[in-house]
Amino acid sequence: MSNNIYHPALKEEHDLIRQSVRDFAEKVIKPVAKELDEKETFSEDIVNKIGEMGLFGINCPAEYGGQGMDTLSYIIAVEELARVDGSQAATVAANNSLGIGPILKFGTEVQKKIYIPQLCTGKKLWAFGLTEPGAGSDSRATKTTSSLKDGEWIINGSKIFITNGSSALTAGITVQTVSLDHEDKKFNTILVESGTEGLKTRKMKNKMMWRASDTAEIYFDNVKVPEENILGGIGQGSKIMLSTLDSGRLSIAAMGLGLAQGAYEMALEYANTRQQFGRTISKFQAISFKLADMASKIEMGRNLLYNACWLKDTGKPFTKEAAMAKLYCTEFAKEVADAAVQIHGGYGLMKDYDIERFYRDQRILQIGEGTSEIQRIVIARQIGVL
């Protein structure tokens, strides 16, 4: 295979998707990534082009407008986008695993036919609203309410930090709510289309990272949607959330892996070029050992992540392995980005160098879709000690 990337789960189709996404990311995204980051701009044009590449809905069946590829293909696409720009990888991951994912898994045939095809084109995006100001890691503290009256769901509350929540491309949001109709705590997951009366969004600005992705606060003020907009049935919200996060963790792990790969390649090239004391700095043991550690972490992370994808693609339980991959790939992304800045010396702190953006972009990865602490809780439960 090309790219010198080997794993027992990789087939020729995976190699082809890697090469085509890598070429696309290098030619289309790389030239504009710095400017989009600086100006904090969400680019509809880039999203449309990613759509033309078929990367939205890449692992969604063809009957709903997708490419019908497996999880590993999707993960490789996210990895290759993140190797160049974390923001665009975030837009793709949020639309695929948080937007399309739960509708595909839990939606009725009618919901799938209405919502998914447009989301596979890159002309429309879908958001997943779980997090609230008072309900982050503790999602059971959700305060956004839903109640069924006269054939309509009435939704009140607010969500925060919602990816793909407020751009002109946003077609709607899957919102996690606590039911007012049950005495014991039950959660309803409901599909709300953009433009519904009472739904308001506010773009969140001044982010440290993912500055070219769309992050929003979303408010629900007596929002009314038809009864049939419930996803997966009444009271199924917890199950939907847990399943969605399992898959989402693979996406964030892929972003860690891709970012680390990009940072490592920049550091390697710089170390092989920069001369001090009459030789390239890669010839100093201190620098070559750093590079050896970076390459080893990437190799270990890739094996962990691809194994978790293989488990998912072959229908085996993958909760523990997804949490491990998310934890490990995002933690080593931080270490690799930090070492890459160190290898660049003072230049690594300048915005002229892409490594500065990578150093910022990695920091969300240990927080989004379950912090590192929460991943350890998930793993501890899976190994039976909690």
- 376: CB partners within 8 A, 6+ apart: 327
Residue 349 or 386 having the CB closest to ligand FAD: 386
Q: Which of 77, 222, 234, 68 is nearest to 154 (CA)?
A: 222
> Which residues lie closer than 8 Å to 121 by C-beta, 6 or more apart?
51, 56, 65
Instruction: Report the residue count for the chain.
Output: 386
Here the tokens at position 170 are 């946003």
174 and 103 Cβ atoms separated by less than 8 Å:
yes
369 catalytic, yes or no? yes
Binders of ligand FAD in range 259-298 (CB under 6 A): none
Which tokens in the block code for residue 255?
């972003």
Q: Dihedrals φ, ψ of 3, to 5°?
A: 70, -5
Side chain identity at residue 108, one-letter code: T
Q: Which residue in the set 161, 264, 306, 358 belongs to the binding site for ligand FAD (CB under 6 A)?
A: 161
Within 89-128, the residues that bind ligand FAD by CB under 6 A are 94, 98, 128
Task: Give the residue with the Cβ less far from ligand FAD, 162 or 266.
Answer: 162
Closest distance to ligand FAD from the beta carbon of 279 (Å)? 42
Min dist CB 372 to ligand FAD, Å, is: 7
Residue placing its CB nearer to ligand FAD in the complex, 80 or 369:
369
* Listed ranges 69-77, 250-258, 330-338, 369-377: which one lies at the site for ligand FAD (CB under 6 A): 369-377
Which H helix or E strand runs over 201?
strand 199-203
Total interface residues for ligand FAD by CB under 6 A? 21
Q: How far is the CB of 211 from ligand FAD (least distance, A)?
A: 10
Residues 208-247 that bind ligand FAD (CB under 6 A): 210, 215
DSSP state of 213: S
Nearer to ligand FAD, 39 or 140 (CB): 140
Is 373 one of the binding residues for ligand FAD (CB under 6 A)?
yes
Residue 178's SS3 state is strand
C-alpha span between 167 and 152 (Å, rounded):
26
56 binding ligand FAD? (CB under 6 A): no
CA-based nearest residue to 251, from 111, 40, 56: 56
Cα distances (angstroms) measured from residue 148 to each of 107, 140, 184, 191? 19, 20, 16, 14
Nearer to ligand FAD, 236 or 371 (CB): 371
- Beta strands 187-193 and 215-226 are unpaired
Residues in 337-366 that interact with ligand FAD by CB under 6 A: 364
The footprint of ligand FAD on residues 136-155 (CB under 6 A) is 136-137
Candidates 10, 75, 120, 162: give the one binding ligand FAD (CB under 6 A): 162
- Output the residue with the shortest Cβ distance to ligand FAD: 136
What is the chain's percent helix, strand, coil content, to nearest 5? 55, 15, 30
Q: How far is the CB of 367 from ligand FAD (least distance, A)?
A: 5
Measure the CA–CA gap between 319 and 170, rounded to whole angstroms.
Answer: 29
58 vs 95: CA distance, rounded Å: 11
Separation CA 193–CA 195 (nearest Å)? 6
**Of 43, 73, 96, 131, which one interacts with ligand FAD (CB under 6 A)?**
131
- Report in angstroms how near the CB of residue 153 gets to ligand FAD at its nearest: 19
Nearer to ligand FAD among residue 133 and residue 345 (C-beta): 133
Applying CB under 6 A, which of residues 163, 167, 188, 261 lies at the interface with ligand FAD? 163
Tokens of 300: 């270990």
Q: Of 44, 63, 369, 373, which is the active-site residue? A: 369
Closest CB to ligand FAD among residues 306, 358: 358
Residue of the chain from 72, 104, 130, 267 that contacts ligand FAD (CB under 6 A):
130
Question: Is 235 within 8 Å of 186 (Cβ atoms)?
Answer: yes
Supply the residues annotated as catalytic: 369
Question: What are the residues binding ligand FAD (CB under 6 A)?
Answer: 94, 98, 128-131, 136-137, 161-163, 210, 215, 364, 367-371, 373-374
